[in-house]
Amino acid sequence: MFDWVDKHKRWIQIVLLVLIVPSFALFGINYYFDEYGDSGEVAKVAGTKITPQEFDNALRERQEQLRQMMKDKVDTAMLDSNEVRIAVVNDLVERRALLSHALHSGLAVPDGEVQQIIAEIPSFQDPATRKFSIDRYKQVLKSQGMTPVMFEERLRHDLRVTQSRDSVTGSVVLADTVVNRLGKIREQRRELSYWVLAPEQLLSRVSVSDEEVRKFYDENQKDFRIPERVRVEYVTLTPEVAGKSVTVSDEEIAEYYRKNEAQYRSAEQRRGRHILIAVAKDATPAVKEEARKRAQALTDEARRNPPAFPDLAKKNSQDPGSAANGGDLGLVGKGAMVKPFEDAMFAMKPNEVTGPVETQYGFHVIRLDEVQPGSVTPLEKVRADIEAELKKPKLGKAFADVVATFEETVYSQSDSLKPVADALKLEIKTSDWLTRDGGGDPTLTKPALLGKIFSDDAIKNKRNTEAVEVTPNTLIAARVVDHREASVLPFDNVKADVAQRLQLDKATRLAAEEGKKRLEQIRKGDESGITWSAPAEVSLQNPGDIPPTAARDIFGAPADKLPAYVGATASRGRYVVYRIGKVTEAPDLTTEQRTELRKLLAQIVAQQQFDAYLQVVKASADVSVDTARVEKKDK
């Protein structure tokens, strides 16, 4: 809901300084953040706590956003990674610092503004009237564990933060000369060739001692850590298991078919054409009589030559929906047409012409083209559908009974999954290695199930886990069959890999050193041993494969003396020397290009201003974060 506020409201961009004493001066700023109670803190900002519960709520919201973004490609381990957890707490810290600064600066949000925003939020509107509903408002908030007072205060917080942000970013002004200059730079094209020095070319020149390998291993144990892991046997219960025991008799199927025969019967349909001579509702008797005579004349003409009916309709019918199609009405059943028209059409024989038929629209000339008799679908063709329909209510009860048996058996006979597998004819499967973060079969990586699998009861006492619903109507019970504590790979197992890694690191550093030396030699005219790539044009707008740091140097290099040379470190430790052979200046910007570029640059400058402002605000907020309570503990 707070995202909706950001998207649908543009806030005043001047800081609102209030002359009255704000409420936080009376109650203290902690008044705004005490809804979670005193349960410790994961961070402290400007004297206020960010509680574990507040952090957990924000983490769940972020994880749900990521699930929605990635859908079926979601990585369970990534959702609860330390990177995500740290990003969440940083976001909470920044928002709290901004809010504290806004409160102490006197930024205020009028009650009327809060009420207007709440009234415009779709979640709080009655679907029928699309107007704000106080009952729906309270109901939605209650479902999220909030009261109106809590929500409205949070909304005020959010608006104050937005005011604070907009007061910094809303005043960006860019001169035309700046926009034009940057536009010319962005579109300028430079012809490049390059020469690459890769670390792999220098491996023979570097070596790594056993002492270096051992030292790296000892100082970087976390890189060689194998997390705690288990393999489990498991059984899965789905509604299909209950379906095997549910039957429907032939008598039940026949009775259902008899009682619902109407839904298997198709009514007679007829295809016809018509010519309409329209008559207004308020037409005089004389006008109406004239229309009837015209319809009668067309009826007589159509009867003399029925095949010519389509042409007559195209030339004479005043029905805009069918005239162009020769009066064709398509297949229609009873109830589709007004009664006088229907009565006439369903009393005719194929190829018969009748008329004039009077309706509220005027006078009709009708030709019947086709009759499709009604039919009844035989029982055998719909038997499977009826059987499935009759099984539905039985399946619900049967599945409930099977679930009860499943849960009771895995609990009461907790030393094996075989009893429940035998009782319900389930297959016992074995998983790959699982960690507390998941891995292997996605159905086994649900946090609720992993929590049971890695419990002391499952690992130490070797008992079945209780049944866990991993997806709607799908339950799994598991049993640990192999458990390995977290460990570190032995030195001998990784010695060769570490040596190779350290050798490559040394070669990478040597490539940078040698590359820089070679660059200076090239600038002095010594290009011996250098083979340049084929030249290609690039621009800041279309830099190709050039790294951003290299692009900055390439387009910052003076163009008054060519060729010019620039060196930069690229991916995989490569050192690249670029040769600038030609510069092609960009044409003047069009008005449209200038406008678009101004918007882009304004956004960039505004973000830079806000980032700088945020750093000042955080520095003055006396921020402390308990990293141990944020990051996951190694198991």
What confidence score (pLDDT) does residue 187 get? Answer: 79
DSSP 107-118: ----HHHHHHHH
Could you tell me the sign of the dihedral formed by the alpha carbons of 282, 288, 292, 293, in that order?
Answer: negative
What confidence score (pLDDT) does residue 281 get? Answer: 87
Cβ atoms of 417 and 410 closer than 8 Å: yes
CA 331 to mean position of chain CA atoms: 44
Could you tell me the sign of the dihedral formed by the alpha carbons of 94, 99, 102, 103, in that order?
Answer: negative
Confidence grade of residue 363 (pLDDT, cut at 50, 70, 90): very high
- Compute CA distances 347 → 145, 314, 342, 350, 567, whole Å: 66, 25, 8, 10, 93
Lowest mean pLDDT among 14-18, 39-43, 568-572: 14-18
Would the pLDDT of 582 be above 70?
A: yes
pLDDT cut 70: percent of the chain above it: 90
Instruction: Report the distance separating Cα 535 and Cα 437, nearest Å.
Output: 49
Confidence grade of residue 533 (pLDDT, cut at 50, 70, 90): very high
Confidence grade of residue 618 (pLDDT, cut at 50, 70, 90): confident
Cβ atoms of 475 and 469 closer than 8 Å: yes
DSSP code at position 21: P
Q: Which residue has the higher pLDDT, 355 or 392?
A: 355
What confidence score (pLDDT) does residue 535 get? Answer: 93
Would the pLDDT of 61 be above 90?
A: no
Would the pLDDT of 242 be above 90?
A: no
* SS3 assignment, position 570: coil
Indicate the average pLDDT of the chain.
83
The strand pair at 474-484 and 624-625 is best described as: unpaired
- Compute CA distances 561 → 536, 582, 583, whole Å: 19, 10, 10
Q: Which residue has the higher pLDDT, 395 or 400?
A: 400
When pLDDT is averaged across residues 550-557 and rounded to a whole number, the result is: 87
Would the pLDDT of 8 be above 50?
A: no
Q: What is the pLDDT of residues 401-438, one digit of tens each?
A: 889 999 999 999 999 999 999 999 999 999 999 988 77
The residues with which 569 forms a beta bridge, in sequence order, are: 575
Q: Which residue has the higher pLDDT, 174 or 233?
A: 233
Instruction: Report the distance separating Cα 394 and Cα 582, nearest Å.
Output: 80
Q: Which residue has the higher pLDDT, 384 or 213?
A: 213
- Compute CA distances 119 → 7, 137, 139, whole Å: 15, 9, 15
The strand pair at 474-484 and 269-278 is best described as: unpaired
Minimal CA–CA distance to 5: which of 135, 157, 130? 157
CA 370 to mean position of chain CA atoms: 52
When pLDDT is averaged across residues 627-633 and rounded to a whole number, the result is: 77
Cβ atoms of 139 and 146 closer than 8 Å: no
- Looking at the chain, how many residues does it have? 635
Residue 486 CB contacts under 8 Å (≥ 6 apart), including other chains: 225, 226, 227, 228, 634, 635
- Compute CA distances 566 → 285, 527, 555, whole Å: 96, 14, 10
Would the pLDDT of 31 be above 70?
A: no
What confidence score (pLDDT) does residue 236 get? Answer: 94
Tokens encoding 285: 């008797």
Q: What is the pLDDT of residues 418-428, one digit of tens each?
A: 999 999 999 99
Confidence grade of residue 620 (pLDDT, cut at 50, 70, 90): confident
Tokens encoding 113: 């503004």
Instruction: Report the distance separating Cα 533 and Cα 43, nearest Å.
Output: 54
Would the pLDDT of 144 be above 80?
A: no
Instruction: Report the distance separating Cα 380 and Cα 376, nearest Å.
Output: 12
Would the pLDDT of 123 be above 90?
A: no
DSSP 378-429: -HHHHHHHHHHHHHHHHHHHHHHHHHHHHHHHHHHTTT-SHHHHHHHT---E
Q: Which residue has the higher pLDDT, 539 or 184?
A: 539
Residue 207 CB contacts under 8 Å (≥ 6 apart), including other chains: 503
Residue 630 CB contacts under 8 Å (≥ 6 apart), including other chains: 42, 43, 55, 82, 85, 86, 89
Number of Cβ within a 10 Å radius of residue 614: 17
Lowest mean pLDDT among 17-31, 85-99, 431-445: 17-31
DSSP 27-81: H-GGGGG-TT-S---SEEETTEEE-HHHHHHHHHHHHHHHHHHHGGG--HHHHTS
What confidence score (pLDDT) does residue 634 get? Answer: 52
